[in-house]
């Protein structure tokens, strides 16, 4: 293939992408379509129909891909409204990779800045939890290093840290995001209970991780959230525990680290004990 042919092909591909991803309501949409048609010697109705088919297929892919990652948001918005958001996101934040499983991370911010959703600010944080679940589903497999836990009894905790399962994420919110996601995905708590927590303005921290092949989401206490946040930043265990325990109040149940650790290992959240990084100091951003 000659250099001229390669250049022409690249120009056609760029024109096609521009025509596909320019929003139909945007002032540049007609110009993008006309520029694409100008790349071909034949500009009949068949070419125009082909472009329309590509555009419709792109919208359908956007809706299916986003619904797979955000089933709760789809339920909360309704299928029709969700489809419209999916199409808008497709045009404003088009996929950068061929695998659409990696597309959709911009939805939380997109929802947060939507004027149509000013009365539902919690949706953006619900979407953050769902994207964390989506990412956890594709995280690397991990095997629990049971032997490493003996180090907790034999070594100084200032030199150790707990290793969390790949894909672990913590989403803190001013809204009851864990309850909202769990009520739609697992029916526990009930939708009525989650709605009541939303009306009461209860803040929650949602923990996301993968147990075996199943992504999971749980509501965690402020002490647990602080501890996990410290561990996710690579803090040593002693420092992480000190910071977490400092958040205890007289209104909260005393935190039992041994009991928490047993449950965390059993559920696949904590998979081992490793050396703490000397660079993960309290000054680390």
pLDDT digits (tens, 9 = 90+) for 124-169: 999 999 999 999 999 999 899 999 999 999 999 999 999 999 999 9
Residue 20's DSSP bridge partners are none
Say what percent of the chain tops pLDDT 70: 77
Whether 36 shows a pLDDT value over 90: the answer reads no
Is residue 75 classed exposed, middle or buried when 0-12, 13-18 and 19+ CB atoms within 10 A define those classes? middle
For 39-56, what is each residue's pLDDT tens digit?
A: 655 555 555 666 566 666
Residue 14 has pLDDT above 80, yes or no: no
Answer whether residue 112 shows pLDDT above 50: yes
Among 89, 69, 71, 90, which residue's Cα sits nearest to residue 79? 71
Q: Is the pTM of this model over 0.75?
A: yes
Q: For the residues of 181-201, what is the DSSP string, one character each?
A: HHHHHT--S-HHHHHHHHHTT
- Please state which of the ranges 2-16, 23-37, 138-152, 169-183 shows the lowest mean pLDDT: 2-16
pLDDT tens, position by position, 204-218: 999 999 998 899 999
The candidate with the shortest Cα–Cα distance to 227, out of 251, 261, 182, 273, is 261
Of 57, 83, 59, the closest CA to residue 70 belongs to 83
Neighbours of 238 (CB within 10 A): 15
Q: In whole angstroms, what is the distance from residue 70 CA to residue 177 CA?
A: 14
β strands within 212-269, DSSP E: 214-220
| For residue 285, pLDDT beyond 50 | no
CA nearest neighbour of 108 among 20, 175, 21:
175
């Amino acid at each position: 293939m000659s250099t001229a042919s390669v250049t022409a092909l690249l120009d056609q591909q760029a024109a096609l992408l521009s025509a596909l991803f320019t929003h139909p309501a945007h002032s540049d949409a007609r110009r993008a379509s006309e520029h694409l048609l100008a790349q071909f010697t034949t500009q009949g109705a068949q070419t125009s129909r082909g472009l329309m088919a590509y555009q419709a297929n792109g919208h359908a892919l956007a809706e299916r891909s986003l619904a797979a990652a955000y089933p709760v948001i789809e339920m909360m918005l309704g299928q029709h409204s969700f489809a419209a958001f999916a199409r808008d996101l497709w045009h404003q934040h088009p996929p950068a990779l061929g695998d659409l499983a990696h597309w959709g991370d911009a939805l939380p911010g997109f929802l947060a800045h939507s004027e149509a959703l000013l009365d539902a600010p919690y949706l953006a944080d619900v979407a953050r939890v769902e994207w964390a679940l989506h990412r956890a589903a594709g995280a690397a497999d991990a095997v629990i290093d049971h032997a490493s836990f003996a180090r907790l009894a034999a070594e100084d905790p200032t030199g150790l840290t707990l290793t969390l399962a790949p894909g672990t994420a913590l989403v803190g919110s001013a809204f009851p995001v864990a309850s909202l996601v769990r009520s739609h995905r697992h029916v526990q708590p009930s939708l009525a209970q989650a709605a009541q927590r939303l009306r009461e303005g209860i803040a929650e921290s949602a923990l996301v991780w993968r147990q075996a092949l199943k992504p999971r989401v749980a509501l965690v206490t402020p002490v647990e959230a602080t501890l996990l946040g410290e561990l996710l930043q690579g803090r040593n265990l002693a420092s992480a525990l000190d910071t977490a325990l400092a958040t205890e109040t007289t209104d909260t149940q005393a935190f039992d680290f041994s009991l928490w650790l047993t449950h965390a290992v059993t559920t696949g959240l904590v998979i081992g004990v490793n050396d703490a990084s000397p660079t993960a100091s309290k000054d680390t951003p």
